[in-house]
Amino acid sequence: MSGQGFTLAETSITLGIVGILGACGISTLDLGGGLALTGFQVELQGSLDQAFHLARARGSNVTVVLNSQAAQDIIPLQLPRGVHWGKLPEVPLPSGMDPTVKAATTGLAHARITVTPRRTATASAWFLHDGRDVLCMRLSGHGRVQMLRWKASQQKWTRC
């Protein structure tokens, strides 16, 4: 410290250290309230839309595959850190769903979704959670996608 105050170098170093500590502290917080789950929901919806468009354009089936590598006619999806397969045991199934659905316990009914140029698809239901909220993706054989979200704070399923 000089006689008149702090030097520019001292101030820069102090602000740099404060910035690094602040970034480390913020990265441990989940300020988005399910941000990873929301991000995966958007990625899943986008991948399904892409698969339907590619199938129609190419005139051949396209598959969306979980935890796979990209290949011709395969669109891969990777689970982000903090997102897990399955439905939390305390969360009820969405209304109208069969209680014996395999997806409720294992997370997925089919690890692969195949869509056709005629906009039909492998019917499936996937459950994913972040430890608090749950995402349910339902896909009918006619290619209709429904995204539902269980919000722990509201204790109910809502459409996304």
Length of the chain counted residue by residue: 160
Confidence at 30, pLDDT banded by 50, 70, 90:
very low
The string of pLDDT tens digits covering residues 111-158 is 788 999 999 998 788 888 999 999 999 988 899 999 999 988 889 999
Distance of alpha carbon 31 from alpha carbon 50, whole angstroms: 30
β-partners of residue 5 are: 2
Query: For residue 24, what are its two tokens?
Result: 């480390």
pTM of this structure: 0.71
Residue spans of the domains in the chain: they are: 1-31, 34-159
CB 98 within 8 A of CB 82: no
Exposure b/e, 4-22, CB count within 10 A at least 16 = b: eeeeeeeeeeeeeeeeeee
The string of pLDDT tens digits covering residues 69-122 is 767 778 888 888 888 888 888 999 898 887 765 555 555 456 788 999 999 998
pLDDT of residue 5: 76
